[in-house]
Amino acid sequence: MELRHLRYFATVAQTCHFGRAAVLLHVAQPALSQAIRQLEAELGAALFTRTTRQVRLTPAGEFLHDEAKRVLGSVDDSVRGVRRIAQGRLGLVRMAFTGTSAFTHLPRIVRVLRRELPDVALEIHTDLLTPAQCDGLRDDSIDLGLLRPPATGEEISVRTIEVEPLVLAVPAHHRLADEPLLAMPDLATESFVLYSNPDSAVNEAVVRRCRQAGFLPHHEHDAPGTAALLALVAAGLGIALVPASARAMPLTGVVFRDVAGAGSVELALAWREHRESALVTSVLDVLGVLFAADRQPVQKAAG
């Protein structure tokens, strides 16, 4: 038996008329008669009682009509499902976020993905720093990461979505708070508050810049996150270089200053380069639009 038989049968059952069914199916009437007889022979069951004047379903035909409709509908659904999966519009994406990116970007990402790709389920992994995300991509435990480059490993593709300059956070009454212009060497003798996590990409950027300026940051205190770090600065325990977005959480007793040559940190989407799935591609497309819209007004303001 083939779906052809079921399709032909369902149409004849619907119309109870071989001629009209043949028209609907775009085949000649004898071809239909033949296919139905063939089906009946294979099943060992009469499906229609037919005279030249009247075609009626037998009980077995009645049953098969229901079944055929179900099966054909089911096949259609399967085809639709396969196509949507192949188009990356149906499936599960496991997405990782760093601690800070979760707060700043996760809500918008989830919202836009639910709107644009409603049949793509999201599995969210939070508090994964860059190296953990790279591992996750490599061992296929996540599909997409929001991390701070550089991502280690050749097989990982990266698309930067945001560049944040590092800015100086100093206690309000610190000597550097009032300097007209600051450059990296000015920080050489200061005590730094750093992030606790040894894998922190921000820390790494800070240390790299300090080394380029000819010194290593003197590190007395550290904090698990930006909020805690700023609190320590406010308390006068040291200075810190933090992403510019930290200005969004103002704290009395902390002053933010631009520093020439302080560099910047990036936030980027990362995914497996090879065997890239249609799902990841379509998610990247949607997120690309989202972050392009982000950048657009900034460029206008600058130009």
Partner DNA sequence: TAAAAATACTCCATAGGTATTTTAT
Partner DNA sequence: ATAAAATACCTATGGAGTATTTTTA
Interacting residues toward DNA by CB under 7 A: 4, 17-19, 26-31, 33-38, 50-55
- Report, in Å, the least distance between residue 44 CB and DNA: 16
| CB of residue 43 to DNA, shortest distance in Å | 15
Applying CB under 8 A, among 30, 81, 107, 224 the residue interacting with a second copy is 81
Per-residue binding letters, 272-291, with a second copy (x by CB under 8 A): ---x-x-x------------
The pair of three-digit structure tokens given for residue 82, joined into one six-digit string: 């396969």
Q: Which of 178, 109, 172, 169 minimizes the C-alpha distance to 145?
A: 109
Please choose which of a second copy, DNA, none residue 279 contacts, taking the beta carbon within 5 to 8 angstroms, the exact cut-off set by kind.
a second copy
Do the bridges between strand 91-97 and strand 156-171 make them parallel or antiparallel, or are there none, so unpaired? unpaired
The residue among 152, 161, 167 whose CA lies nearest residue 104 is: 161
The residue written with tokens 């409709």 in the block is 69
The residue within the footprint of a second copy, chosen from 12, 13, 36, 68 (CB under 8 A), is: 68
Per-residue x/- marks for a second copy, 47-66, CB under 8 A? x-x--------xxx--xx--
Q: Looking up tokens 């560049």, which residue turns up?
A: 163
Residue 46 contact, options a second copy, DNA, none, Cβ 5-8 Å cut-off depending on partner type: a second copy
Binding partner of 85, given DNA, a second copy, none, CB within 5-8 angstroms per partner class? a second copy
Task: Evaluate whether 259 touches 166 at the Cβ level (below 8 Å).
Answer: yes
Q: Smallest Cα–Cα separation from 160: which of 27, 264, 12?
A: 264
Q: Residue 82's beta-bridge partner residues? A: none
The one of a second copy, DNA, none whose footprint includes residue 63, by CB under 5 to 8 A per kind, is a second copy
Region binding a second copy by CB under 8 A among candidate stretches 1-9, 145-153, 208-216, 217-225: 1-9
Using CA atoms, how far residue 224 sits from 113, 199, 231, 239, 255, in Å, is 30, 12, 11, 15, 20
Which residues lie across from 145 on neighbouring strands? 96, 270
Bridge-partner residues for 50, per DSSP?
Answer: 55
Burial of 216 (0-12, 13-18, 19+ CB in 10 A): exposed
Least distance in Å: CB of 5 to a second copy?
9
Name which of a second copy, DNA, none residue 37 binds, using a CB cut-off of 5 to 8 Å depending on partner kind.
Answer: DNA
The residue (of 34 and 212) whose beta carbon lies closer to a second copy is 34
Candidates 11-19, 75-83, 98-106, 241-249: pick the segment binding a second copy (CB under 8 A): 75-83
Contact pattern for a second copy over residues 30 through 49, marking x by CB under 8 A: -------------xxxxx-x
Q: Which two tokens stand for residue 118?
A: 């409603």
Nearest approach, Cβ of 3 to a second copy (angstroms)?
A: 5
Which helix (H) or strand (E) element contains residue 42? helix 29-43
> What amino acid is encoded at 213 in this protein?
A
**Is the alpha carbon torsion for 112, 116, 122, 125 positive or negative?**
negative
Q: How many residues bind a second copy (CB under 8 A)?
A: 34
18 vs 9, 44, 46, 267, CA distance in Å?
10, 20, 15, 66
In the complex, the residues that contact a second copy under the rule CB under 8 A are: 1-4, 6, 43-47, 49, 58-60, 63-64, 67-68, 70-71, 74-75, 77-79, 81-83, 85-86, 91, 275, 277, 279
